[in-house]
Amino acid sequence: MPVRAPVTPPASAPSAARLGSRARVPLRARVGARIRGHRVSAVAPRAALDLDALDLGQTLGAIKRKETMLNLPPGKVGLFGARETFEYLADPNAFIEKRVRKYGPVFKTGFFFKPAVVFGSREAVEAFREFESGLPADAALPETFRELHTAYGALRQSGAEHEATRANFGKVLGRAALEKYAPILARQTRDFVLGEVLPGDCGNSGGFLTEQQKRSLEREGKIAIGKDGAVTTLASGDDVAGASKNPKLQPGYDLRQFCLRSLFELFLGIVPPEGLMNEMYAYNEGLLALGKLSPEFAEGEKALKTLREYVEKHYRTIRAQGKLEDERFFFLEQYSLARDERGDLFSDERVATTAILMIWGAYIEAAANMGHVLWTLMRHPEALAETRRETRGAFTSADLKSADPNAFELSRVFTKLRYCEAVVKETLRVVPQTAGGLRVNPTTRKFLEYDVPAGYVLTADPRVAFLDPTNFPRPETFAPERFLDASDPRRTKREEIEETGNDGGGVLGSRSRDPDAYFPGGVGQHKCPGISLSTLMTQIFLVYVTGAFDGWAPDETGEGSFDPEYVQIPIVIIDDKYRLELERNWQYE
Ligand code: HEM
């Protein structure tokens, strides 16, 4: 199936002097000038790798796996799946795109050194759903992940044990929970956007630093480290000279720190010291370590222990003080009543571990989504204008300044921010941040017209479905209207443009509501229970960022670039050094 390669205009970096001389040109106009005349792809730019050559490894591998007489999907695994695995790890989205282009929406490959069948056509996902619940989930997870995710982690569990774990998710991630969280999220987002980004306190980090880097930068007088571990960059001559007065934001770094802080507070009821929260990064790296002997794994184990001890002590303390019923401890209160598959209450250690796993599962996904939304809207000024119209129509600047809980009541957010929701969904489609879940096929089976041998990983991959033009006509086009109700005037307006042919025609026939076509959080027994939370967080972020700012543009000074580079694993997220410059709205001058 032909899928077009992403087209990205080359970014030529203007010098600091040029940027300075254009300081009075609105940032939006600058972005417009850069993207005008180019066909702007909705798809994030990626590095191109070409390691795909027919090799002896595939033939030997097929003999070794005794599959020469079977009818497997197209593609290649190799002898041990190593080459495919490394190519995947280098750039997962490009890897998938290249194979979809070459083999179509069902293909075989090697994922994490295991033979795998990857698919995303609607028919394949439908067929997969019929037997997915009987497949063991944990067998496909890398060893380090399995270990650090702990026995309490849902991704490792199956059967009754998993069912009991999921039953508790509903209480802390379902609608009633989101009703409690919405006003808290509004207050947190206000403090961040109006209290930190707007006065210019963001965008000045060199990115996340290791303890050793911090020590040497502190010695060199480039940063200061507070008692709670917070890092402040001390302005250098370079930073001061010719610097623009516009606030800056590093979406990778700043949004990640913001989400980390927000989710700790949302789930624990307090914001721990920054040093403790940053242990989450070491934990994350440990999960993805290449083996249990690697130093990252040991650091990850240590980080998990530190986090666990902290959360467990906090949980015991508030329980002993009789504070569990306080609104802010809603999450912990729910887990104090949680029962496992035998009907036993969760141990304190399990409650603490669950809270850590939930913060881990949520913060980086929400941060990635927020950063990607800034990028898609910057690239599509008409969508940014529509978003702004919606958010400013629904929320006054007084609502924003007070983070009024009535204004941010959940049902109001849901009904007033339909276009923002569509932007979030379309952004997840064009900048997919996560793969699908991995399951191991226990017995040789027929899957569609193919044979899949025992031991193969099966994975319904959202990225494959997102690229399928039968699911999403003109998949390379960013069109939030795909996700609006048929009766929404903004969709009707797009329909009119398309009918008159001005826009090339036809994105609205999308299967955006079909769970076999649009599944950013996976399918089946382990499908994500938290997407609604990250969507809500991103919607509220959009309210604030489009309320306080009229637009934003890349900061191309120094090593800055027009488009970001991405960290690819474990999820796709804008890297730390990418920086945006934001244009204040007059009400916030
Ligand atoms: C846009 C944001 C998000 C995306 C794209 C995403 C994606 C995913 C995916 C692909 C899975 C694996 C499904 C599978 O194995 O089949 C998953 C599982 C999970 N996600 Fe998310 N996620 C997001 C946000 C969140 C948030 C905010 C939370 C909040 C805590 C969360 C919690 C979880 C949990 C607990 C699981 C494991 C479910 C299970 O094994 O039963 N996710 N997510």
For the chain, what is the domain count?
Answer: 2
Do 114 and 198 lie in a common domain? no
- Return the pLDDT at 168: 96
pLDDT tens digit string along 260-272? 999 999 999 999 9
How far is 436 from 524, CA to CA, in rounded Å?
10
DSSP symbol at 75: B
Do 425 and 533 lie in a common domain? yes
DSSP states along 312-366: HHHHHHHHHTT-TTSGGGHHHHHHHT-B-TTSPBPPHHHHHHHHHHHHHHHHHHH
Mean pLDDT, residues 67-72: 89
Q: Model confidence at 203, in pLDDT bands (50, 70, 90)?
A: confident
Residue 12 has pLDDT above 90, yes or no: no
How far is 405 from 480, CA to CA, in rounded Å?
28
Does any ligand 1 atom lie closer than 6 A to the CB of residue 437? yes
Do 426 and 442 lie in a common domain? no
- Return the pLDDT at 17: 27
How many CB atoms sit inside 10 A of residue 103's CB?
17
- The rounded Cα 341 to chain-centroid distance in angstroms is 31
Residue 43 has pLDDT above 50, yes or no: no
Residue in the block written with tokens 């339909």 = 418
Q: Model confidence at 140, in pLDDT bands (50, 70, 90)?
A: confident
* Nearest ligand 1 atom, CA 365: 2
pLDDT tens digit string along 141-162? 888 999 999 999 999 998 999 9
Does any ligand 1 atom lie closer than 6 A to the CB of residue 369? yes
Does any ligand 1 atom lie closer than 6 A to the CB of residue 526? yes
Do 233 and 282 lie in a common domain? yes
Within the chain, what is the greatest distance between any pair of CA atoms?
71
Flag whether 278 is in a domain.
Answer: yes
Does any ligand 1 atom lie closer than 6 A to the CB of residue 371? no
How far is 28 from 583, CA to CA, in rounded Å?
8
Instruction: Please say which residue of 492, 519, 546 terminates a domain.
Output: 519
Ligand 1 centre to CA of 389 (Å) is 31
Does any ligand 1 atom lie closer than 6 A to the CB of residue 197? no
Q: Model confidence at 47, in pLDDT bands (50, 70, 90)?
A: very low
Top mutation candidate among 364, 523, 528, 569 for ligand 1, by most atoms within 8 Å of CB? 528
Do 175 and 140 lie in a common domain? no
- Return the pLDDT at 496: 81
Do 216 and 290 lie in a common domain? yes
Q: Phi-psi category of 235—alpha, beta or left, where left has phi over 0 and alpha has psi -120 to 50?
A: beta
Flag whether 484 is in a domain.
Answer: no
pLDDT tens digit string along 378-434? 999 999 999 999 999 999 999 999 999 999 999 999 999 999 999 999 999 999 999
- Return the pLDDT at 32: 62
Ligand 1 centre to CA of 295 (Å) is 27
- The rounded Cα 87 to chain-centroid distance in angstroms is 21
Does any ligand 1 atom lie closer than 6 A to the CB of residue 527? yes
Ligand 1 centre to CA of 531 (Å) is 7
Does any ligand 1 atom lie closer than 6 A to the CB of residue 142? no
312-326, 358-372, 446-460, 552-566: segment of lowest average pLDDT: 552-566
Which residue range forms the structural domain that includes residue 338? 169-433+520-588
Strands 580-584 and 549-554, by their bridges, are antiparallel
Flag whether 477 is in a domain.
Answer: no
Do 438 and 424 lie in a common domain? no
Instruction: Calculate what percentage of the chain has a pLDDT beyond 70.
Output: 84
Does any ligand 1 atom lie closer than 6 A to the CB of residue 366? yes
Flag whether 480 is in a domain.
Answer: no
CATH code for position 574: 1.10.630.10
How many CB atoms sit inside 10 A of residue 564's CB?
25
How far is 496 from 477, CA to CA, in rounded Å?
17
How far is 96 from 299, CA to CA, in rounded Å?
31
Are 419 and 484 in contact, with CB atoms under 8 Å apart? yes
How far is 433 from 85, CA to CA, in rounded Å?
18
Instruction: Calculate what percentage of the chain has a pLDDT beyond 90.
Output: 69
pLDDT tens digit string along 440-450? 999 999 999 99
Q: Model confidence at 331, in pLDDT bands (50, 70, 90)?
A: very high
Do 402 and 298 lie in a common domain? yes
Q: Extract the tokens encoding 190.
A: 């206000």
Residues 6+ apart with CB under 8 A from 366: 259, 262, 263, 533, 534, 537, 538
pLDDT tens digit string along 535-584? 999 999 999 999 999 999 999 887 788 999 998 878 899 999 899 999 99
Taking CA atoms only, the protein residue closest to ligand 1 atom 38 is 526
- Return the pLDDT at 500: 63
Flag whether 229 is in a domain.
Answer: yes
- Return the pLDDT at 585: 96
Ligand 1 centre to CA of 201 (Å) is 31
Do 428 and 456 lie in a common domain? no
Q: Model confidence at 502, in pLDDT bands (50, 70, 90)?
A: low
Flag whether 249 is in a domain.
Answer: yes
* Nearest ligand 1 atom, CA 436: 10
Flag whether 266 is in a domain.
Answer: yes
Kindly report the average pLDDT of the chain as a whole number.
86
Do 374 and 392 lie in a common domain? yes
Instruction: Please say which residue of 519, 539, 554 terminates a domain.
Output: 519
pTM metric for this prediction: 0.87
Do 406 and 444 lie in a common domain? no
Instruction: Please say which residue of 485, 519, 553 terminates a domain.
Output: 519
Ligand 1 centre to CA of 226 (Å) is 34
Do 371 and 441 lie in a common domain? no
pLDDT tens digit string along 85-130? 999 988 899 999 999 999 999 999 998 889 999 999 999 999 999 9
Flag whether 372 is in a domain.
Answer: yes
- Return the pLDDT at 8: 29
- Return the pLDDT at 42: 43
| Closest by Cα among 178, 203, 44 to 571 | 44
Q: Extract the tokens encoding 492.
A: 């009707």
How far is 513 from 529, CA to CA, in rounded Å?
17
